[in-house]
Amino acid sequence: MKQTGNQTRISRKSARVGSLRLPKKDPSYNELDRFYDRHDGAELLRRGVTAIDRDHADLERMLAEYWGQPNTQQLNIRIPRTAKQLIEKLARRKTVELSTLVRMWVVEGMRREAGQP
């Protein structure tokens, strides 16, 4: 593992860490998705495959930029049917659109991660 700026990179000398097979160099989104779906984040951290980045300066800068931008980008996620039904019910209860409620949660999470009120 190698620190470069604010990012942690996985050394590609070996495609394995212990008995763990890492994704190939420059993996596709789907390959990364499958890898992280099959492995526990805490275990990857313990094995040194991932690391906690304590430098939040880039997050704070990005969050500040976010406030002045319109909602033009789309993000698709897959969740269980019952989770979607629960989110729909919560959105109706709050009398907001489903996407608005999820966006509010995302913004709240971004604030929390960046350490802002």
The domain segmentation of the chain, as residue ranges, is 2-46, 57-114
Measured between alpha carbons, how far is residue 110 from residues 5, 12, 46, 89, 103 in Å? 21, 30, 25, 24, 10
pLDDT digits (tens, 9 = 90+) for 74-95: 889 999 999 999 999 999 988 8
The token pair that represents 106 in the structure block: 């995302």
CA–CA dist 50, 43 (Å, integer): 9
For the whole prediction, is pTM greater than 0.95?
no
DSSP code for 70? -
Give pLDDT tens digits for 8-50: 444 444 456 667 788 888 888 788 878 888 888 888 888 888 8
